[in-house]
Structure 1
């Protein structure tokens, strides 16, 4: 969680990528040898020179992400709906209460939840290609 008033910049994003790389090294070491494919949008921290240098140094491949394409972002098409339904009607006294509830929700998600979201990305990409980049509803 970022301190209030701070935002993601290229240095912070690269630090996040460092932590991701370390987690992959610990959990799936062979994956790093084959190369990692990332998908991120064209936000400034993602397209900054510092980030591009990091990606090149570690041989990461980036899937192109058309602007304004929530249909290709697993968080948008797979995560936010169930999260919104879970939080619906809840009220939180403090930010810490909200953070605690979010951590609890994420901790209790089954690995298959994430697998389904990532696996559906392939069919969405294929539809996007077939539609020459047009919006993919489902």
Structure 2
């Protein structure tokens, strides 16, 4: 997909535009939810494995609607829109 994109400043923190916030972290949280770890190292290993197990085709899909998310932020004047 090729788009003409004009660079502009963005808010310092926008969970609607951060792929980690709207895609990666929820998938990892779902996978690790309810697990109890015996050590910090075990938790880190579980996190690493969860990241490595994310299918590439699904990870790439998170960027397909990124331009739409940016436009929605503009339309809503940077208001958080996930829960609307």
Question: Shorter-chain TM-score: what band?
Answer: 0.7 to 0.9
Root-mean-square deviation (Å): 2.0
| Structure with the bigger percentage of strand | 1
Q: Distance in 2 between matches of 1:103 and 1:81?
A: 15
- TM-score (norm. length: structure 1): 0.49
**TM-fit CA distance, 1:121:** 1.5
Larger radius of gyration: 1
**TM-fit CA distance, 1:98:** 1.0
Number of aligned pairs? 77
Bigger relative CO (Cα 8 Å, ≥ 6 apart): 2
| Structure with the bigger percentage of helix | 1
Q: For structure 1, which runs of at least 5 residues remain unmatched after alignment?
A: 1-61
- TM-score (norm. length: structure 2): 0.74
Equivalent positions of 1:1-138 (< 5 A) are: 64-137=9-82
